[in-house]
Structure formats: C-alpha cells, structure tokens
C-alpha cells in the first residue's frame, strides 16, 4: 500500500520554499553554485551553499544551535501548521520522526576544537551533543513535543532516502499514523577536506556523465516531508535497498547493487520499468559512480528513460541528498510545476564513449503522461549502500 506525502519544506542552493526551489530547478538555474575560498587550504572550490537567511533557534533551544539545526528549522517552519495539525490529530505518541544526516553539528564542534587547540580551552558554548548524529532529530522532536519513535540514520549519501523508506515502513507496520521524515546536512571543513583528500572534489562546477567529468561539488540542504496514510495528491509508492559491500568507497563496477535497489523498488511499488516516467540519477560526476550508474540504468531501462542529475544545481548534499532529490520528484508532480517540466541535466554535452548512453533531459523537456505518473530517485553511498525510491500520482 502507498503512503502519502502530505507536505514538504525545503531549502538548498536553489532557494528556500517550494515555489522558489521549483522555479529555479525547472529553469536549470545553477547560480547558487559558487566558487569559495576557505574550505580547503590552498584551494578554491565550487560549493552549493544556502544563501537564504536562516532562522534563529527558538527560545529555550539555544544550546542546540548549529547550522545543521538551523537548516532543518528553516524547512520545518515552512510546514509547521501541517506538522502541528498532524500531532493534534493523531497524538504525540503516534507521530514519528526519522531523519538522515552525516554532518550533524560537526561544523560547530570543529570550530570549537580548533579554538581549544589555539587557546587551550573550549569556548563556553561548546557542547558535545551538538555533533551527535541524533542531534537534529532530538532538536526537532523536542521543539514539536513528539513522543513517538524518533531517530536519525547515517548511511552517508543514502541517509535522507533511507529515512523516507523507514518512515514508509513505520506507517505500513502500524507503528505510527504520521511520520516527519527527510534529511539535512550542512557544509563544513571536515567534509570538504575529507572528500578532497580522496581526490573526489572538483574545483569547477561538476559535470555528470561527461567525458570531462572531474569529481563532485559539495552542497548543503534540508528537505522535510510529512508522510501519512491520509490521502494526498502525491504518493510514496515504494522503495528498495541493497548493500553490496563491494568496497569501502568504490561502487561495484557493473552497478549490481544499484541495479538490485532499483529492481526491489519496482517490485515493492508493483511497477514495471516501462512505467517509470523519469529517473533522478545519483549522478555525482565521479568516474566510478557515473560509470556504474549508467551501466545499471541501461540494463534496467534498455529502451531508455528520461533522466537527469540535479547535483550541478545543488551540489552533492550528502546525508540530505536522497530526501532533497525525492523533493525534486515531489515538486515535478506538484502544482508548483504546472507545465509538467522535468529537471534538466546540466553538463557540457560531451558524452563519454566508455559509458552506456542515457536519455538525459534537456531544458524545457516535459513529462509525457498527464496522470498515473511514476518517478524514481537513486541514491548510492560508500560501502555499497544503495537506495531507490518511487513517487507518483496518488492511485
């Protein structure tokens, strides 16, 4: 049975709020991707920072301050009436919260520890709890007064997608009547230096599936859904997960884990490959990811499927990416996209002859079906952790 996505709050390099993000997304606006100094010593990197003004922490929650929690609060405030109405309707014990993150509050913790190294003491505002993986869920649950299941998942770049899949299962099992779910991650020096040390970060804008691709750009975002069994125009139809554990950081070269996740998602949703109208690719612009993903997609969709990577417009938002790209699918199906446009694939249009060809979307391309539409979103992570989600028009 499907679950329904009743509300969405979103903030990323494209903007803040559903309409602002939709307008920029379908226009192919990459102006939020900007070259910045200061993240990695001696390098200028293109990053997808959020430039919208972020809210201050609510009174009484100052000790939980972090940029990660501010991003999360910015998304939550957009749908606060819907969230509080669900809590009133079902009761605080019947509303769950599942979030994905990978940075949590490590940005602030890193800055505080740097001050300790320099000055010999930690600043008064330092709190170890800021950097705990559960910190975003703890903050949001306390702010909303939740008493149902509350937790964070951290499976690297699939975290946000896994949160949606877990929320769906909580509803299907009858554990919850509604679940607040999504992902959040903030830019921080630790992440950017880590990926830079792996030689995976491009200084220039990323170029997925191009012969000239040279690595990822990192971004930050929060995407937050209210999911329930209450009927809404857009449904969460299912998802699939796999863990091939091929290598600690490199994906299986043939994309077997990615293919398995997509096949499981189709089976879970009761759909055939030809019923998928659009696929949001993981599309990181790294050599290995694009190679294996093109192989997996071509194997499952030999006749082709409209697809694109949205990361040239947002950067790779890591723990938030799966939820953010599910949000892009939600926006594609929503009233915020009256012309039924598809997210365009931004690249230099120099295909890699070593990759299986993909049906990459161009600016202005539209969904062909007017009803009964099904959209898939891929998320892949270190350790062979793979997730595919399927959203669609409510049956």
The tens digit of pLDDT for each residue in 273-291 reads 999 999 999 999 999 999 9
Q: What is the pTM of this model?
A: 0.97
Using one digit for the tens of pLDDT, what is the confidence trace for 351-388?
999 999 999 999 999 999 999 999 999 999 987 899 99
In the prediction, which pLDDT does 365 show? 98
How far from the centroid of its chain's Cα atoms is residue 167's Cα? 15
Helix (H) or strand (E) holding 100: strand 95-100
CA 256 → CA 106, 215, 260, 295, 297, distances in Å?
A: 33, 22, 6, 9, 10
Q: Which residue, chain included where needed, has tokens 């949000």?
A: 327
- DSSP letter assigned to residue 179: E
Using one digit for the tens of pLDDT, what is the confidence trace for 120-165?
998 888 888 888 999 999 999 999 999 999 999 999 999 999 999 9
In the prediction, which pLDDT does 131 show? 85
CB distance 137 to 183 below 8 Å: no
Task: Answer yes or no: is pLDDT of 206 > 90.
Answer: yes
Output the domain CATH number for residue 369: 3.40.47.10
Helix (H) or strand (E) holding 99: strand 95-100
Using one digit for the tens of pLDDT, what is the confidence trace for 159-191?
999 999 999 999 999 999 999 999 999 999 999
- The residues, any chain, with a CB within 8 Å of residue 163's CB and separated by 6 or more, are 98, 99, 100, 153, 181, 182, 183, 322, 323
- The residues, any chain, with a CB within 8 Å of residue 312's CB and separated by 6 or more, are 30, 33, 205, 206, 207, 208, 217, 285, 345, 346, 347
For the question of residue 157 being annotated catalytic, the response is: yes
For the question of residue 282 being annotated catalytic, the response is: yes
For the question of residue 247 being annotated catalytic, the response is: no
- Catalytic position from the list 168, 252, 282, 345: 282
- Catalytic position from the list 12, 112, 152, 157: 157
- The residues, any chain, with a CB within 8 Å of residue 199's CB and separated by 6 or more, are 215
The whole-chain average pLDDT of the chain stands at 95
Domain that holds residue 290: 3-393
Number of domains in the chain: 1
Helices 256-269 & 287-300 angle (0-180, nearest 10) = 40
CB distance 97 to 150 below 8 Å: yes
Q: Which residue, chain included where needed, has tokens 């019947």?
A: 94
In the prediction, which pLDDT does 249 show? 66
- Catalytic position from the list 168, 252, 298, 316: 316
CB distance 392 to 326 below 8 Å: no
In the prediction, which pLDDT does 139 show? 97
Using one digit for the tens of pLDDT, what is the confidence trace for 335-353?
999 999 999 999 999 999 9
């Amino acid at each position: 049975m499907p679950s329904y996505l009743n509300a969405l709050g979103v903030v990323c390099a494209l903007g803040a709020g559903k309409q602002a993000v939709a307008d920029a997304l379908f226009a192919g606006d990459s102006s939020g991707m900007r070259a910045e100094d200061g993240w990695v010593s001696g390098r200028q990197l293109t990053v997808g920072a959020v430039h919208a003004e972020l809210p201050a922490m609510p009174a009484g929650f100052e000790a939980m301050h972090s940029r990660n929690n501010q991003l999360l609060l910015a998304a939550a405030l957009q749908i606060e009436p819907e969230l509080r109405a669900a809590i009133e309707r079902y009761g605080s014990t019947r509303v769950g919260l599942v979030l994905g993150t990978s940075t949590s509050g490590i940005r602030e913790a890193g800055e505080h520890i740097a001050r300790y190294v320099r000055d010999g003491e930690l600043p008064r505002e330092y709190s170890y709890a800021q950097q705990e993986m559960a910190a975003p869920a703890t903050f949001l649950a306390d702010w909303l007064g939740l008493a149902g299941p509350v937790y964070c998942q951290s499976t690297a770049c699939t975290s946000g997608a896994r949160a949606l899949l877990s929320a769906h299962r909580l509803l299907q099992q009858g554990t919850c009547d509604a679940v607040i779910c999504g992902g959040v991650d903030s830019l921080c020096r630790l992440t950017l230096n880590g990926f830079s040390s792996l030689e995976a970060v491009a200084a220039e804008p990323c170029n997925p599936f191009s012969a000239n691709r040279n690595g990822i750009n990192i971004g930050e975002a929060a995407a937050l859904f209210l999911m329930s069994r209450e009927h809404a125009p857009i449904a969460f139809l299912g998802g699939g997960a796999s863990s091939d554990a091929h290598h600690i950081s490199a994906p299986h070269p043939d994309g077997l884990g990615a293919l398995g996740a997509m096949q499981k998602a189709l089976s879970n949703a009761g759909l055939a490959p030809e019923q998928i109208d659009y696929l949001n690719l993981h599309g990181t612009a790294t050599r290995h990811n694009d190679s294996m993903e093109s192989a997996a997609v071509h194997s499952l969709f030999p006749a082709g499927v409209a697809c694109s990577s949205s990361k040239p417009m947002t950067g790779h938002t890591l723990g938030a990416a799966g939820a953010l790209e599910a949000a892009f699918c939600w926006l594609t199906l929503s009233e915020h996209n009256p012309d039924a446009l598809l997210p365009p694939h931004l690249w230099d249009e120099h295909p890699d002859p070593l990759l299986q060809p993909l049906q990459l979307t161009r600016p202005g391309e539209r969904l062909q079906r007017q009803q009964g539409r099904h959209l898939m979103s891929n998320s892949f992570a270190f350790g062979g952790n793979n997730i595919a989600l399927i959203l669609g028009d409510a049956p």
